[in-house]
Amino acid sequence: MNLELRQLRYFVTVAEELHFGRAATRLHMTQPPLSQTIQALEELLGAALFVRSRREVSLSPAGQALLPEARRMLEQSQRLPELVRRAAAGEAGRLSLAFVSSADYSVLPPFLRAYRAAYPQVQIGLREATSDVQLDELLLGRVDAGLLIPPLPERARVELDYLPVLSEPLILAAPAGLQALKAPGPVALAALPPLALIIFPRAIAPALHDAIVGVFRAAGITPEIGQEAIQMQTIVGLVSAGMGIALVPQSVSNLMRPGVEYRPLADPTPLVETGLAWRRDNRSPVLQGFLELLRKNTQC
Find how far residue 41's CA is from the centre of its chain: 44
Find how far residue 198's CA is from the centre of its chain: 30
Q: How far apart are CA 225 and CA 210, in angstroms?
A: 13
With a cut of 60, say whether residue 204 has pLDDT above it. Answer: yes
What domains appear along the chain, each with residue ranges and CATH number?
Answer: 5-88 (1.10.10.10), 93-165+273-297 (3.40.190.10), 167-271 (3.40.190.10)
- Strand partners for 248: 171
With a cut of 70, say whether residue 183 has pLDDT above it. Answer: yes
pLDDT tens string 92-146: 688 999 999 999 999 999 999 999 998 898 999 999 999 999 999 999 999 999 9
Q: How far apart are CA 28 and CA 11, in angstroms?
A: 14
Q: What is the pLDDT of residue 69?
A: 93
Q: What is the pLDDT of residue 54?
A: 80
Mean pLDDT of 9-29: 91
Q: Is 291 left (phi over 0), alpha (psi -120 to 50) or beta?
A: alpha
